[in-house]
Structure 1
Amino acid sequence: MSVTQSKLVDWDAFAVARAELGAGFVRILGYFQEDGTKSVDAIESAMRAKNAAALVIPAHTLKGEARQFGAKPLAEAAETIEVIARQCVETHDSPDEALQTVVGLRQLFNDTLIQLLREANPLVERRQGFGKRAVSGFGRA
Structure 2
Amino acid sequence: MSDDQDIVDWVHFERSRTELGPGFIRILGYFREDGAKSVSQIEQAMREQNTAALVIPAHTLKGESRQLGAEPMAKIAELIETTARFCVESRRFPDELVPEVVELRKMFEQTVELFDKATNPLLSRSRPAASGFGRKANNQTFGRI
Length-normalised TM-score, structure 1: 0.84
Work out whether 1:112 is the aligned partner of 2:111: yes
Work out whether 1:5 is the aligned partner of 2:3: yes
Q: Which has the higher contact order (CA 8 A, sep 6+)?
A: 1
**Which residue of structure 2 lines up, in the alignment, with residue 83 of structure 1?**
82
Displacement of 1:121 in angstroms is: 1.6
Displacement of 1:62 in angstroms is: 0.2
Identity level (%): 55
Decide which structure has the larger Cα Rg and report it: 2
Match of 2:30, SS state, is helix
**Which residue of structure 1 lines up, in the alignment, with residue 32 of structure 2?**
33
Q: Which amino acid aligns with 1:5?
A: D
Work out whether 1:50 is the aligned partner of 2:80: no
State how far apart, in whole Å, the 1-side matches of 2:45 and 2:94 are.
9
Matches within 5 A, 1:86-101: 86-101=85-100
- CA deviation profile, 1:51-99 (whole Å, cap 9, x unmatched): 1100000000000000011001100010010011001000001111211
**Which residue of structure 2 lines up, in the alignment, with residue 130 of structure 1?**
none
State how far apart, in whole Å, the 2-side matches of 1:36 and 1:102 are.
13
Q: Which amino acid aligns with 2:82?
A: V
State how far apart, in whole Å, the 2-side matches of 1:59 and 1:22 are.
27
**Structure 1 unaligned spans of 5+:** 126-141
State how far apart, in whole Å, the 2-side matches of 1:34 and 1:102 are.
18
Runs (4 or more) in structure 1 with deviation over 4 Å come to none
Q: Which amino acid aligns with 2:115?
A: L
Paired positions, count: 123
Length-normalised TM-score, structure 2: 0.82
State how far apart, in whole Å, the 1-side matches of 2:3 and 2:108 are.
12
**Which residue of structure 1 lines up, in the alignment, with residue 16 of structure 2?**
17
State how far apart, in whole Å, the 2-side matches of 1:122 and 1:23 are.
16
State how far apart, in whole Å, the 2-side matches of 1:37 and 1:9 are.
17
